[in-house]
Chain A
Amino acid sequence: MIKKIYIIILLFTSAYSQVDISNQLSVRYGDSDNDYNYNEIYLDTKLSFNRENYRLESLLTFEVSEPAEIGLNAKGLDRYLFGFYNDKFSLELGDIHQTWGRGLLLNQLDLQNLDFHTGSRGLGMQVHNESSTLNIIMGDTASRKSTTVLGGYDPRVPNYFVDQFIYGADLSLNVLKSNIGAAFLLVDEKERSLSHTLTNFRVDRSHEYGEFFISVINKVSEKDSGNLEIFYPEKDGGGFYISNTNYLKKWALTSSYRNFKMDINDPVIRDNIVDNYGQALDIQRSPSGFYQHTFRLLSRNSKEVNLNDEIGIEIQLLGPINDNVNIAVNYMKSSSSKRWHNGVEIDNSLWYSDSNSMPSSSQESYPFEELFIEVSGYSSDGNIFYKVGIDFQDQVFNVLSNSAEVKSFEITESFTLPFLVNFNINPSWNVEMQLELQRLKTGFDTTILSDVDEIDDNYSFTSLLTEEYQENLFLALSANYNQKWSFNLSHELTNSDESLLDDGHNESFDSSNDWNSASIAYKFDSDHTLELFYGSMRGGLDCTNGVCRYIQAFDDGIRIDYSLNLD
């Protein structure tokens, strides 16, 4: 069917000779000692028929993945989109991705590297004029995740699937130098007999010395118990986000405050994404709230904003020190909206809470705090670029106990020094070095409280690693010759054995503490590349656009990447 449609479009558009065709082919292969193997072929093909007043377009993505690097195997047409566009109206059928405002209600992502797709298969429409824009969406959304809550956990293959039907509209108006938006979205989940209703209101105002933005959201989730005599209460959550930017000559200061309370749950069930039916949806994203690190070690420590229960602030100062040097100072602090403590004496399994209105530093509030300072610039002749930073992070991941007898928290503290320098030696050679040093502490802070005045409280720290402090080093060297050849070496080292994270039998975890790799890439032309990789890559958290996923290690293997653009 799709083939027929494609051929009809091809013939129709070719007849008019105003057709644009482009293809992007990507072939990926990987084979490692720890069975991190994959074979993937992607072909994106685009057809566009351009007339003076309108444009017809089709985007088709074919995928053959057996097995996929991350996600499910696929063979055939993976995605498609047919669209009609003109000055005032657009209509799309197929796999639609829309973003309303800054994404607090709807921000549909397509992150292939994390197997995170929240687009909808259905219909999307946009009507716009000079002062307003109306977006309408209706379609099926299928998201998938890997979770330890269910059996059969595999970091590369999802074991939890959520199918939803979504429909709604978003209207934004330009009024008095402000953009005002309002939206509603209805979401039905047949499998779990769930329905969600989301509403959003936002104002975006720019002025001479900066800008101001506020977004408010409400979410109601209802679950039908069917014939069972189980009572599922209606979950009514919400939140808001405020950001303000001020320009001071060449400097810019951005500060934000967020208060999200979509679905607040006690520490025992807080992370259960399967049973907590009131939780924020995958199609929702917080406007900012974290720093997207590009350095390797820092990226593994990235923070993902928790829309269900989080209060946070973020402050960023950017500016030039002189004509060649820029500085960025970022400070982030957040916590849950509650301070949790469990019952005393007989029943320690019941949890009680007090509210926070500002981010708290107390351990029972899941605090997170980060300070990142970065300086970047060029030498006076412009041939050397450098970037150097310093980062401090403290976080409580888990509240295990906070009773009158025992306080126990899972914590992480890190201190990281990243450095990068790039030399343009001559018109043919360009060389880059990246070095990162990190000191990391991760484990359990436990205090057994004494009820006798003469006896001190008993504090202990139990590391999750073989050392109390993990020392990490990442070094990468790369050379580029004549814009054709690229040579890369990387070395990563840690002083502690990470196999303790596991029972030693699961190959998803890497038991080594040394990862080396070499790769060579050749550019046939400006967008036609072949890359060969040999070696190992350390596993860990991989974060893109505020979405994080654990990626397993790649042990002693080869990777081949080939990409070709046919424009």
Chain B
Amino acid sequence: MIIYRLFFLLLLTGHLLSQTNFPNNKVQLIDNTTTNLHSLTSEVSFVSFWATWCLPCIKEIDKLNEFIHDYENVSVILINEDRPGDKAKVKSFVRSRQYPIDDNYHIIFDFDKKLSRQFSAEPIPLTLILKGTKVIYRKRGFYLGDEVELKKQLRIALSD
């Protein structure tokens, strides 16, 4: 009974007080350098948890790459959830797919799954849109066509 009460208490407080800021974790970028997450964000940021074996994730990134450079002041942070042993494969994948890595487009590794646990990211893809460092939109899964909704959410975030 105590457990159920605690469940209820946590759910209630979570519901009343819930808000999530993007944490300022120390992370490793695909070029092996390390930085803080907040240094990668912009006015608006698009964050996605992904892996090379996750087909919906790849489709989402493919669609994202088609339109993201039309949006100024938007950073992209792709949080990779592959195994640490697959680091070379991830780099090869990103290279062969020509993901447009630059000052506003970042790929980071989450080998110890800290970020994944912080956001309950499984099952992936989990997509977040940030205004500054505050999470204002959260979406799980991706189907072709969902990019319309993502564009809409980015426009809303930029116009706020």
Give chain A's interface residues, CB within 8 Å of chain B.
Answer: 3, 6, 10, 14, 19-25, 41, 43-46, 48, 50, 55, 57, 59-60, 62, 64, 75-76, 85, 87, 90, 97-99, 101-104, 107-108, 110, 112, 128, 130, 133, 174, 179, 204, 206, 211, 213, 243, 245, 247, 250-254, 256, 285-289, 292-294, 316, 318-320, 326, 378, 382-383, 385, 387, 420, 422-424, 426-428, 430, 480, 483, 526-527, 529, 545-546, 565-567
Contact = CB atoms under 8 A, between A and B. Distances in A.
Looking at A90, A287, A423, which has the most chain B CB atoms within 10 Å of its CB? A287
A526 B138 contact: yes
Contact of A318 (B62, B93, B145): B93
Interface stretch (B41-49, B71-79, B84-92): B84-92
Contact of B21 (A20, A243, A287, A427): A20
Contacts of B97: 320, 326
Contact of B6 (A3, A24, A57, A288): A3
Nearest to B137: A526
Given A254-B89, A527-B139, A25 B21 contact: no
A64 to B, nearest CB: 6
Nearest to A100: B84
A422 to B, nearest CB: 6
Contacts of A565: 120, 138, 140
Contacts of B143: 422, 424, 430, 480, 483
A99 B25 contact: no
Looking at A48, A103, A526, which has the most chain B CB atoms within 10 Å of its CB? A526
Nearest to B119: A22
Interface of B: 2-3, 6-7, 10-11, 13-15, 17-21, 23-26, 31-32, 34, 36, 53-55, 59, 62-63, 66, 83-89, 91-93, 95-98, 111-114, 117-120, 122, 126, 135, 137-140, 143-146, 148-149
B144 A250 contact: no
Contacts of A64: 3
A48 B21 contact: yes
A110 B113 contact: yes
B85 A566 contact: no
A180 B117 CA distance: 28
A254 B88 contact: yes
A292 B24 CA distance: 31
A316 B120 CA distance: 31
Contact of B92 (A101, A252, A423, A545): A252
A454 B59 CA distance: 63
A23 B84 contact: no
B129 to A, nearest CB: 10
B87 to A, nearest CB: 6
A15 B54 CA distance: 41
Nearest to B85: A287
